[in-house]
Amino acid sequence: MATINTERMTATANEPFVLFLIGMRINNWLAIHRWLPVFLAMPKMLTELHINRDLGFKSYEMWFSRTVILVQYWESAEKLIEYSRAKDSEHLPAWKAFNAAARKSDAVGIWHETYVIDKGKSENVYVNMPKFGYGKVGDLVPATGLKNTAAGRLSTTA
């Protein structure tokens, strides 16, 4: 079981990073043959990214429901785009397969959003939480002094 930090904590970003949101939406539960291959493609990519840390992937969180959501943290947009285009990656074949299948049915949808976050342009707080989200990636420190409020965390760059 993960260790719970009972202290009020914040994770500071000492360099720019990329927040990448990606997921799928099941539009027709009964068409499992359409959405299951899309669903099963992501674990292969995550395994590949964890094994090959030089690709720029840092960490992720995932939620399951009708819409599956992954919040990913990357070193840079360049590394994220490079991975998405790499002919020897798990991503490109999955992307091509989805595009071919999407022409045949609307049973599953996919989406993503990419945000480039400059140093000092984000804030977070974690209370009674294990390392989570950016707290797995940034320098986790007590949220005291100037870091006690969201406004304070956004006004400091240290």
What is the chain's pLDDT, residue by residue, as a tens digit (158 residues)?
889 999 999 999 889 999 999 999 999 999 999 999 999 999 999 999 999 999 999 999 999 999 999 999 999 999 999 999 999 999 999 999 888 888 889 999 999 999 999 988 999 999 999 999 999 999 999 999 999 999 999 986 54
Q: Using CA atoms, how far apart are residues 32 and 37, in angstroms rounded to an integer?
A: 8
The 10 Å Cβ neighbour count of residue 108 is: 22
Contacts for 4 with CB less than 8 Å, ≥ 6 apart: 128, 129, 130
Domains in the chain with CATH codes: 9-13+119-155 (no CATH), 17-117 (3.30.70.100)
The residue type of 86 is A
Residue type, 118: D
Question: Which H or E element spans position 98?
Answer: helix 91-102
Contact 39, 85 (CB under 8 A): no
Q: What is the pTM of this model?
A: 0.91
